[in-house]
Amino acid sequence: MTDDGAERWEVIWPEGYSVEFRAGPAVLTETDGEVVAETGDRVGVNGSEPTDLGSFCMVGRIFQSTEIVFVDQVPSD
């Protein structure tokens, strides 16, 4: 995930949410598989930066999300 300042974050999503890489853009899904957001959508989250976790992916700093606050979906072309 990239924040408004273009900094990249490795997000630990709330329980029940996961990121899937399908035959198109990456998508954020709920437990039932319903797509909540996809690449390019704006997602607001609450949470914090944990001090006791390290990243294997080295994508960026880690953010532990506790809830999804909003999703602004970008219209598809």
pLDDT in tens, 9-44: 999 999 999 999 878 889 999 989 999 999 999 999
pLDDT over 70 percentage in the chain = 96
1 in a domain, yes or no? no
Residue ranges making up the domain that contains 23: 9-72
Q: Which pLDDT score, from 0 to 100, does residue 77 have?
A: 64
- For residue 61, which phi and psi values (nearest 5 degrees)? -65, 155
33 in a domain, yes or no? yes
Q: What's the pTM value of the predicted model, to 2 decimals?
A: 0.81
4 in a domain, yes or no? no
Average pLDDT, the chain: 89
Strand order in the sheet with 18-21: 18-21, 26-29, 35-38
Q: How many domains does the chain have?
A: 1
35 in a domain, yes or no? yes
Q: Which residue has the higher pLDDT, 23 or 46?
A: 46
